[in-house]
């Protein structure tokens, strides 16, 4: 029987975090991309993974839903500390952590700063080491709620959705203040501080049409971090990934998590 999503509130020293909770079992934490929440984008995925015997924890970033706290002067270390609070409170002290796009940077930082809390890291649609400026600006264009809809749709089509997929589903669900906070956080910490994800096992999920990671870079992470990286390709998907192919992603994640828990 699939348990319906519920909401929990976790309180820290300077933050209150709303966490969407699906299912029961070993914990999988899901962290969203730039300027977006952890709700609707992941609903279908979370239902499938929780039905396979996992607790799916989806913390809302600061500024979204019931998550409130300081929004200025933060770094990626602070965002990772938020997730550590969630794992200690709702994950029985340890979790597999999935980060989508920007979220995978927070997941990596968490694995460096709080290694005992992390069973493994899943990097979904992580960008490569060299993204063209034309593609890098598409999240900012899509998140500009004052821009004409046609411009926002063009940015979503270029940066986020594979051919044949409707980018209009992402016209909603953007939070400019949260994105501004996250952009600042990303700029304050050198990439080298979190790139390794500590020593955690890593699953890298690459959408086959993701302009943030062209085919020439598909082997980059494994070349850098070695055989603790497992790479899986999801077909007919771009950077948005989860609204495009939730079932493919869920199947890959479930299989890898089950192997990790069995072998570990």
Over the stretch 160-196, which tens digit does the pLDDT of each residue have?
Answer: 999 999 999 999 999 999 999 999 999 999 989 999 9
**Total length of the chain:** 264
* Nearest CA among 64, 60, 66, 108 for reference residue 86: 60
Residue with tokens 């500390």: 81
Tokens of 199: 């020593």
User: Could you tell me if 86 and 70 are in contact, meaning their C-beta atoms sit under 8 angstroms apart?
Assistant: no
CA–CA separation, 39 and 1 (whole Å): 21
- Cα separation, 160 vs 187, in Å, equals 22
Average pLDDT over every residue of 199-213: 98
Paired tokens of 194: 């979190």
Identify whether 156 is part of a domain: no
Q: What is the mean pLDDT of residues 116-127?
A: 98
The per-residue pLDDT for 1 is 46
The answer to whether residue 149 is domain-embedded is no
**Is residue 1 situated within a structural domain?**
no
Token pair for 12: 């820290």
Number of domains in the chain: 1
- What is the per-residue pLDDT for 24? 95
pLDDT digits (tens, 9 = 90+) for 215-228: 999 999 999 999 99
Residue 3 in this model has a pLDDT that exceeds 90: no
Rounded-to-integer distance, Cα 202 and Cα 225, Å: 9
Q: Is residue 190 classed exposed, middle or buried when 0-12, 13-18 and 19+ CB atoms within 10 A define those classes?
A: exposed
Please check whether residue 162 lies inside any domain of the structure.
no
Q: Report the share of the chain in percent with pLDDT over 90.
A: 95
Ramachandran assignment for 23, one of left (phi > 0), alpha (psi -120 to 50 degrees), beta (any other)? left
pTM: predicted TM-score of the whole model, two decimal places: 0.96
Q: Is 169 left (phi over 0), alpha (psi -120 to 50) or beta?
A: alpha
Query: Residue 5: pLDDT band by 50, 70, 90 thresholds?
Result: confident
The residue range of the domain holding 181 is: 6-130+174-263
In a domain? residue 99: yes
Mean of per-residue pLDDT scores for the chain: 96
57 near 21, Cβ under 8 Å?
Answer: yes
Q: Lowest-confidence range among 3-12, 99-108, 146-155?
A: 3-12
Asked whether residue 166 is assigned to any structural domain, the reply reads: no
| pLDDT attached to residue 4 | 64
For residue 263, the model assigns a pLDDT of 85
The CATH number covering residue 236 comes to 3.40.50.1820
Our CA angle for 168, 174, 178, nearest 5°, is 165
Q: Is residue 77 part of a domain?
A: yes
In a domain, 169, yes or no: no
- Pick left, alpha or beta for residue 204 (phi over 0 → left; psi -120 to 50 → alpha; otherwise beta): beta
């Amino acid at each position: 029987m699939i348990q319906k999503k519920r909401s929990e509130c976790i309180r820290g020293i300077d933050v209150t975090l709303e966490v969407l909770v699906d299912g029961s079992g070993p914990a999988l934490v899901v962290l969203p991309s730039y300027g977006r929440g952890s709700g609707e984008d992941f609903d279908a995925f979370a239902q499938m993974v929780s039905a396979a015997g996992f607790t799916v924890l989806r913390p809302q970033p600061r500024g979204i839903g019931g998550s409130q706290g300081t929004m200025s002067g933060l770094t990626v270390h602070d965002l990772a500390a938020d997730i550590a609070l969630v794992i200690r409170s709702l994950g029985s002290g340890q979790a597999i952590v999935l980060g989508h796009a920007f979220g995978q940077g927070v997941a990596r930082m968490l694995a460096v700063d709080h290694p005992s809390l992390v069973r493994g890291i899943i990097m979904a649609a992580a960008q490569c080491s060299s993204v063209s400026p034309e593609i890098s600006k598409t999240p900012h264009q899509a998140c500009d709620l004052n821009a004409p809809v046609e411009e926002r749709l063009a940015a979503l089509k270029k940066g986020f959705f594979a051919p044949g997929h409707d980018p209009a589903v992402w016209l909603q669900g953007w939070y400019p203040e949260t994105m501004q906070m996250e952009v600042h956080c990303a700029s304050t910490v050198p990439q080298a501080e979190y790139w390794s994800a500590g020593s955690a096992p890593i699953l890298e999920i690459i959408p086959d049409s993701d302009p943030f990671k062209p085919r020439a870079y598909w082997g980059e992470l494994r070349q850098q971090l070695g055989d603790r990286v497992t790479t899986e390709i999801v077909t007919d998907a771009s950077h948005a990934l989860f609204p495009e192919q939730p079932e493919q992603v869920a199947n890959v994640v479930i299989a890898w998590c089950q192997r990790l828990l069995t072998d570990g």
